[in-house]
Chain A
């Protein structure tokens, strides 16, 4: 009798628990996956955000070029409100769980990115490892383009930013955690890659934009971008760290190791040591191999000068993407960072020392 009572109590409890739950059940074919988002400045003062989302339309065949997407846009006063209103425009539930690419329009990036970054970090279904970028001329243009040879909807832009597909030395991949950190950190400033469209159907990602905590200050050229990637140590697992043209030679860098230290005298100096192993990719035709040593010295000198020019350019723009401020804070305790650091940064001198060791000159002598 007692056992029956116990069993029936447990049974009733289980039934009650089960009847109350199950709220989150939504089948996968009743969801629309967002594969790209763009946030622009709409030009309207009352509704400043223009949100564009690219929804993936599932199709059974996976031939190249058979992927279909649907673009939805809306203007709104705040981003969260805009996303809510977009839900009314599509027939299925919008799911940001697979959105790996977020683009901020150039105009929006010239105003203020903080609202956007905070919204993205606060939302629970946006991955912290989503990649961000600046879309030119506007994020909507970039997101709306449909590449001709794409199997899975939205995937080709995704692949630019994931390290297992392209590993170009011109592309800088910025993840959401990193951007959120840099927007708030004292001594480290945000960087974003710039995405543009080429030939109306494919993407080009070869420049980076340097920002202070709110907006874009400087956009680097592709060569400067490559140099920046090399000296800041941001290239992860690639084999070829790009090339360095210094006519008539072109060398390919196989490995780059950068170390720097900051001294704390009246004239603060950054001593940067760069160690590289290189391979010759292009040489003048009648080259003697005994002069390789002298050639390397010249190349080292040229590289150091170029790097110094780049660092001075960044210094004059007043941003600190490599993190000299944070290193200064770590080595020497700097009270009241926000007030004292800009002065010190303006006065810093850069001394760069490059050492190249050659791994050979390809297959020819």
Chain B
């Protein structure tokens, strides 16, 4: 049976295949099960221990216990073993033992990526629970799990998951080489791993996706991507990714079609607003106030007339305050939390405008920019985009509206030039017929 199983199932670290030989009675059984999916104690209690004790003949044990049943059809082995059954062969009869253990109760609740009506559990810091959840979500025999150790002192186990048939061999080789090349002492979190695996240190956009959701992981596996699960960290890494994966939330597959498409459009609008709005404010106010209508220009003048210094200083003051507010709300102790809302809302909002330090339009611009920053569903992209507006502000101060356009064009050039493990990062997917082939030498997706 074991040779047959080796052919059908892809080689995986968590597939336990044992051949037990009893030295006295000279009986052998072959045992095969997926370690994360079964309750190992149960298997020990019902199979391994009675076999080694050898008080009763093992076949009578199998025939008397209703948990064991005979499997006639070899075609159903894959299904059974993926559903957490342990397959036991004894004297050319295959038995299946139900040892399935769903670990949904042990799965923690999602903290960063929540949905309204989707699954609420995330993978856990215990890799066995994580692999249990993933295997339950992606029941395919092609799912391969490899294991490596990273970090010379911490020796953290890293599990590499991929679908053997769908994933790209070149990417896989690239990832393995990169993992071998890690020479740090301690690897404690997925963020460190992400930094080490990205090809360039100073890049602006993330090329790996960190996620805690099981449904995103299973969808990524079905698309042929590679997932890395680190022991001790609640987040998994998905690679290779494109820019559009960061704009897409998991809810887009659960909710109604039209509204989700509209929300994707809003996310792009929010991305544009958060990157360019402060720069546009400076450019329009100080270089080209004739763009807008007469009434708007006058209300801008009226609100700016109380402020004593030029517009970009105003922008910098408000941006620094917003960044400090956002950073401090991560670290504020729970009991002082409400105070920070008061500080942010009242003081930064109304009082600073009434004192004449900042104009009222600037408050609107800043809050719009801060809110649209968090419309993006993935946190690493939110963080990356938060940085992008500062160069645009610089270039708007010196060059005005044309500078903003040129800066945005530079970002598009930079994005199109990025590759994420060989995959094109920012490419609009068009009609692709396999017999024609794709452009360039890499990237067959």
By a beta-carbon cutoff of 8 Å, the part of chain A in contact with chain B is: 18, 21-22, 24-29, 31, 33, 35, 56, 58-60, 62, 95, 97-98, 100, 125, 127, 152-155, 158
Binary per-residue interface labels of chain B (394-427) against chain A in the complex, 1 for a CB within 8 Å, 0 otherwise: 1001111000000000000000000000000000
Distance of A115 Cα from B400 Cα, bound (Å) = 33
Residues B303-333 near A (CB distance < 8 A): 303-307, 310-311
**Complex alpha-carbon distance, A333 and B198, angstroms:** 72
Q: Verify if B298 is at the interface (C-beta below 8 Å from A).
A: yes
Report how far A28 CA is from B311 CA in the complex, Å.
9
Closest to A7 in B: B202
Pick the contact of A21: B302, B305, B398 (CB < 8 A). B398
Closest A residue by C-beta to B309: A27
Q: A24: which of B294, B311, B400 is its contact (CB, 8 Å)? A: B400
Residues of B close to A33: CB separation below 8 A: 289, 294, 297-298, 301
- CA of A97 to CA of B301, assembled, Å: 14
Residues on A with C-beta less than 8 A from B399 are 21-22
- A29 to B298, Cβ gap below 8 A? no
Please report B residues at the A interface, Cβ cutoff 8 Å.
285-290, 294-295, 297-307, 310-311, 394, 397-400
**Once bound together, how far apart are the Cα atoms of A97 and B302, in whole Å?**
17
* Residue contact A60 to B302, C-beta cutoff 8 Å: yes
CB of B305 within 8 A of CB of A29, answer yes
CB distance from A28 to the nearest CB of B (A): 5
- A43→B398 CA distance, assembly (Å): 46
9 nearest A-B pairs in the assembled complex, by CB-CB distance: A97-B290, A58-B301, A22-B398, A28-B285, A21-B398, A29-B304, A28-B289, A58-B302, A60-B302
- Given known A27-B311, A98-B297, contact A58–B305 (CB-CB < 8 A): yes
B290 in complex: contacting residue of A24, A27, A62, A125, CB < 8 Å: A125
A119 to chain B, nearest CB (A): 18
Distance from B235 Cβ to chain A, minimum over Cβ atoms (Å): 32
- B298 and A27 contact, CB distance less than 8 A: no
Decide if A22 touches B397 in the complex (CB within 8 Å).
Answer: yes
Closest Cβ–Cβ distance, residue A93 to chain B (whole Å): 11
Determine if A98 and B397 form an interchain contact, defined as CB atoms under 8 angstroms apart: no
Q: Which of B287, B300, B302, B394 contacts A59 (CB 8 A)?
A: B302
Which of B287, B288, B305, B310 sits near A60, CB closer than 8 Å?
B305
Evaluate contact between B294 and A155: CB separation under 8 angstroms. Answer: yes
By the criterion CB–CB under 8 Å, are A28 and B302 in contact?
A: no
B301 and A28 contact, CB distance less than 8 A:
yes
Interface centre among A31, A33, A58, A153 (most CB of B within 10 A): A58
A152 to B293, CA, bound (A): 12
Cβ distance B307 to chain A, nearest Cβ, rounded Å: 8
Contact of B294 among A21, A28, A60, A158 (CB under 8 A): A158
Q: Using Cβ atoms and an 8 Å threshold, which residues of chain A touch B397? A: 22, 25
Q: List 27 A-B pairs, Cβ < 8 Å.
A: A21-B399, A22-B398, A25-B398, A25-B400, A27-B286, A27-B304, A27-B311, A28-B304, A29-B304, A29-B307, A31-B289, A33-B289, A33-B297, A33-B298, A35-B294, A58-B298, A58-B305, A59-B302, A60-B303, A60-B305, A60-B306, A62-B302, A98-B289, A125-B290, A152-B294, A152-B298, A155-B295
Taking the closest CB of chain B, its distance from the CB of A125, in whole angstroms, is 7
Residues of chain A within 8 A (CB-CB) of B287 are 24-26
Which of chain A's residues have a CB closer than 8 A to the CB of B298? 33, 56, 58, 152-153
Please indicate the chain A residues that have their CB under 8 angstroms from the CB of B400 in the complex.
Answer: 24-25
Q: Do A27 and B310 form a contact, CB below 8 Å, given A22-B397, A58-B301? A: yes
Q: How far is the CB of B312 from chain A (nearest CB, A)?
A: 8
* Cβ contact within 8 Å between A27 and B285: yes
A75 to chain B minimum Cβ distance, whole angstroms, is 28
Q: List, in ascending order, chain A residues with CB within 8 A of B290's CB.
A: 95, 97-98, 125, 127
Whether A29 pairs with B301 at a CB distance below 8 angstroms is yes
CB-defined contacts of B294 to chain A, threshold 8 Å: 33, 35, 98, 100, 152, 154-155, 158
CA distance A62 to B298 in the complex (A): 10
Q: Give the nearest-CB partner of A127 in chain B.
A: B290
Cβ contacts under 8 Å, A28 to chain B: 285-286, 289, 297, 300-301, 304, 311
Which residues on A sit within 8 Å (CB–CB) of B288?
Answer: 97
Query: Considering the chains assembled together, what is the distance between the CA atoms of A58 and B298 in angstroms?
Result: 7
- For the complex formed, measure the closest distance between the CB of B353 and the CB atoms of chain A, giving whole angstroms: 12
- CB neighbours (8 Å) of A21 from chain B are 398-399
A18 to B407, CA, bound (A): 14
**Within the complex, what minimum Cβ distance (angstroms) separates A40 from chain B?**
24
Which residues of A lie under 8 Å from residue B286 when comparing CB positions? 25-28
**Distance in Å: Cβ of B116 to nearest Cβ of chain A:** 42
Give A70 to B198 CA distance when docked, in angstroms.
62
Additional A-B contacts beyond A95-B290, A97-B289 (13; CB < 8 A):
A22-B398, A27-B304, A28-B286, A28-B289, A29-B304, A33-B289, A35-B294, A58-B298, A58-B302, A60-B303, A60-B306, A98-B289, A152-B294
Contacts of A18 in B (CB 8 A): 394, 398
A2 → chain B, closest Cβ, in Å? 16
* CB nearest neighbor in B for A97: B290
Expressed in whole angstroms, the minimum distance between the Cβ of A290 and any Cβ of chain B is: 53
CB distance from A140 to the nearest CB of B (A): 22
When distances are taken between beta carbons in the complex, the residues of chain B under 8 Å from A58 are: 298, 301-302, 305
- Once bound together, how far apart are the Cα atoms of A158 and B311, in whole Å? 29
How far apart sit A97 and B288, CA to CA, in the bound complex (Å)? 9
Determine how close the nearest CB of chain A comes to the CB of B391; give it in whole angstroms: 10
With A and B bound together, what is the CA distance between A192 and B247 in angstroms? Answer: 55
**Docked pose: A26 CA to B282 CA in angstroms:** 10
Q: List chain B residues, Cβ under 8 A from A31.
A: 289
Among residues of B, the one whose C-beta sits closest to the C-beta of A159 is B294
CA distance A12 to B304 in the complex (A): 35
Query: Which chain A residue lies CB-closest to B297?
Result: A98
Contacts of A97 in B (CB 8 A): 288-290
Q: Give Cα A165 to B243, complex, Å.
A: 46
- In whole angstroms, how far apart are the Cα atoms of A58 and B295 in the complex? 11
Smallest CB separation, A176 vs chain B (Å): 15
For B289, the chain A residues whose CB sits under 8 A away are: 28, 31, 33, 95, 97-98
